[in-house]
Structure 1
Amino acid sequence: MDDKKKRKKRSGSSDNWLTTYGDMVTLLLTFFVLLFSFSNINETKWRELVFAFTGGTSGGKIIPTDGNGNADATPPPMPTPTPKVTPSETPAESKSPTPTQTPKPTPTVRFPDNIDEIYNGIIGFVKDFELETKVEVNKTDFEIIIRFTDNVMFESGRAELKPEFHGVLNAFANILDRFEQEIEMIRIEGHTDNRPINTWQFPSNWELSTARAVTVLRYLIEEKGFSPLKISAVGYGEYHPVDTNDTAEGRARNRRVDFVITRSANITTTPED
């Protein structure tokens, strides 16, 4: 009797491993089914799934499924980016019309009409002092040149004005002063011939020609009250001849003091057509 009970207990306990085995087989089958399902996932669906978990700074997205755990075949619509409008893409009708540019006025230089009055006044001065053989007067569109030969003003090799020339220079200065408003600049130029000079006072013709021009300039400023802003002096030596230096007559013409008078110009503006 006891032996039968023992045999029944052994046989009942020996069937318990089947339950454990069945559970293990079921789990293994489930695991392999899952592996198989993952191995056949669509690449597009996989990217959508990844994007659902890592989809940007705005947080995750929910991917709709078909009820079996598979992602819906229709992906959600992507947001349409708003195009940026640049100035070049602005519609033509929104552009303001370009204003018509006003043409810039063209400056017009107009010299005073009374330049002939200055010229005629100087010619009258030359005739009054009977200087026709010693003074030349030339006129261009821009300036008047009055040439005094050196023997009228100076002794040979000297830079002091002759005393008898003071009256002549005073009368000439009065003519210039009368047209002071019309005269822009008076340039006094000293010239010599090509014969060299070498003294303690004038080592070369540069010094002699410059000293003579400065002597006349200082006389007009200090004795006649000319403005230093409208008068200048320069010496050219023998390097600006007006005649040949091969003859006595030519050298006499080259030894001179020139007054170059530049007339003022009135600047007006007129619009272009």
Structure 2
Amino acid sequence: MRRRRKPPEPRSNAPRWMVTFSDLITLILVFFILLFSMSQIDIVKFRAIADSFQQKQILEFYPSVIPFETPSSEPEIEMDDGAERDKDLQELLSEIQSYLRENKLSEIVVATRTERGVVLVLQEQALFASGEAAILETSYPFLNKVGELLSQIPNFVKVEGHTDNRPISTYQFPSNWELSSARASAVIRYLTGAENLDPKRFIAVGYGDTRPIAPNDTAENLQKNRRVEIIISDPTYEEE
């Protein structure tokens, strides 16, 4: 008996790679349908995002454009260290100025606020006898007040001694450099001793007659140049 030939399989019109490709597309479509079904669209949050572009205050007060579920009536704005220290300096300045007015010291002591910090300018007669670096007892109450205020803040303090241009030549002070430096150091010794302040917070500088604030041509101007400046530093200021 002869074997029957197996009839040939009908050929498909589409190439084989099209079958594989269609299966792949189907799987990808199913994958995205699953992702979409598992996701949730929050219409409220979506609208909040859209509205935020037109409401500037949301960006200013909330860390997110999506409102909190229970937002407080007023967002809390924390004060940074710089602002806090500036506030301390302003309060210190106000208290010193009030003390000067109450004790009628405004003519010989000036307190101002500059970019350097709070600057106290004390004329010679407020602290020393002419040509001397020993602090007068009459200045103790004011320096005690300054020391008390300094004990409440951590700021660095620079004390500068200044003289007029008249030369001095004594055994103790061969020139105005020594006199101005000694006066600045004397003020720091008193302040650190009166309130037990940390000496590391202080620096003493003697400028002699190199930084006058008035021409050395009259007795009044000479008196202005003989001074001690106490600078309670602003932490943000960088001295050149």
Which category of TM-score, normalised to the shorter sequence, fits these structures? Answer: 0.5 to 0.7
Residue 82 of structure 2: which of 110, 113, 135 is its match?
Answer: 110
Pick one of 182, 186, 190 that aligns with 1:219. Answer: 190
**RMSD between aligned alpha carbons?**
1.7
Deviation at 1:172, TM superposition (A): 2.1
Indicate the SS of the match to 1:261.
Answer: strand
Query: Which residue number corresponds to residue 156 of structure 1?
Result: 130
SS at match of 1:119: helix
Question: What is the SS of the residue equivalent to 1:164?
Answer: helix
Q: Distance in 2 between matches of 1:250 and 1:111?
A: 37
Match of 2:179? Answer: 208
Aligned residue among 160, 170, 175 for 2:149: 175
Measured after TM superposition, the shift of residue 147 of structure 1 is: 0.2
- Look up the SS of the partner of 2:151 in the other structure: helix
Of 248, 251, 257, 2:222 maps to 251
Q: For residue 162 of structure 1, what is the amino acid of its counterpart?
A: L
Q: Does the 8 Å CA contact 2:116/2:234 hold for their aligned counterparts?
A: yes
Q: Matches of residues 54-69 of structure 1 in structure 2 within 5 Å?
A: none
Please tell me the residue identity of whatever aligns with 1:160: A
| Superposition deviation, residue 170 in structure 1 | 0.8
Tell whether the 8 Å contact from 1:150 to 1:256 is kept in structure 2 after alignment. Answer: yes
Structure 1 residues 161 and 142: CA distance shift in structure 2, 3 A: closer
The match for 1:75 is none
Q: Residue deviations 1:41-66, cap 9 Å, x none?
A: xxxxxxxxxxxxxxxxxxxxxxxxxx
Cα distance change of structure 1 residues 110 and 222 upon mapping to structure 2, 3 Å threshold:
closer
TM-score for both structures, normalised by structure 1: 0.54
Mark the structure with the bigger radius of gyration.
1
Q: CA deviation at 1:254?
A: 0.4
Q: Identity percentage over the alignment?
A: 36
- Whether 2:185 is the aligned partner of 1:241: answer no
Q: Given the two structures, how large is their TM-score scaled by the length of structure 2?
A: 0.61
Query: How many residue pairs were aligned?
Result: 155
